């Protein structure tokens, strides 16, 4: 029979591990943000993060992977998030974290579907292996960055959802729908261009594009 003291110790360790991973992931995200800003000034960093049509040249294909491998990001993120939910103990089981993780899993499943069945990348569309590795690292850290860890220290109860949660859920679902809608719009344009002798890309029309598109 498992001792109640031992069971409490294991649960506490789970919470501490989640909190530690969240702290490290947040520090890593801060570093990645600095690198992203630095890429605006460095052509080398920009070439590592570019992919598809944003890559000006692919001098050596040995250091690139097909752009279709974008789906790997969402596979990794989905299973890591599921692992955090399953093994995170009381921290992952709080009301706020359940909401966040449910929306994250919805996002990851949708993005995988879009990469596998909506996006229309050509065989020549590639991304640098360094950018691919950073993408994998991003989705490894994602659930730890989003988790609310104040519950571990007892600063915030964490079991009660606040009144803003409903608006947060609606907003997240709305913007996920809009992103999916516009991915479908762009994919249809690409399909049309492939069947014609016109240039590979054309100006999209419809949706939110009408607010930013210029003649």
Name the burial class of residue 5, with classes exposed (0-12), middle (13-18) and buried (19+) by CB atoms within 10 angstroms of its CB: exposed
pLDDT tens digits, 89-133: 777 777 778 888 999 999 999 999 999 988 877 777 888 888 899
196 has a pLDDT exceeding 50: no
Please check whether residue 12 is in contact with residue 143, taking contact to mean a CB–CB distance below 8 angstroms. no
* Beta-bridge mates of residue 65: 127
The predicted structure's pLDDT at residue 200? 62
CA distance 102 to 100: 5
Name residue, tokens 């960093």.
45
CB within 8 Å of 207: residues ≥ 6 apart = 178, 181, 182, 185
CA distance 144 to 19: 8
Three-state DSSP class for residue 127: strand
7 has a pLDDT exceeding 70: no
> What global pTM score does this model have?
0.75
9 has a pLDDT exceeding 80: no
CA distance 93 to 158: 9
């Amino acid at each position: 029979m498992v001792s109640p003291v031992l069971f409490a110790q294991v649960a506490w360790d789970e919470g501490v591990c989640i909190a530690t991973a969240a702290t490290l992931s947040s520090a890593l995200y801060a570093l990645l943000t600095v690198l992203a800003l630095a890429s605006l000034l460095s052509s080398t960093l920009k070439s590592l993060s570019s992919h598809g049509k944003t890559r000006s040249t692919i001098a050596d294909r040995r250091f690139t992977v097909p752009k279709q491998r974008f789906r790997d990001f969402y596979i990794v993120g989905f299973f890591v998030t599921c692992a955090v939910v399953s093994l995170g103990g009381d921290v992952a089981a709080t009301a706020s974290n359940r909401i966040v993780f449910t929306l994250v899993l919805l996002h990851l499943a949708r993005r995988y579907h879009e990469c596998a069945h909506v996006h229309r990348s050509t065989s020549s569309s590639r991304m640098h292996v360094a950018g691919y590795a950073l993408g994998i690292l991003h989705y490894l850290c994602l659930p730890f960055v989003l988790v609310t860890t104040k519950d571990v220290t007892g600063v915030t109860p964490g079991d009660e959802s606040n009144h803003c949660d409903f608006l947060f859920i609606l907003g997240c679902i709305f913007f996920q729908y809009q992103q999916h809608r516009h991915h479908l719009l762009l994919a249809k344009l690409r399909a049309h261009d492939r069947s014609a002798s016109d240039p590979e890309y054309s100006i999209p029309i419809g949706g939110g594009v009408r607010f930013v598109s210029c003649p």
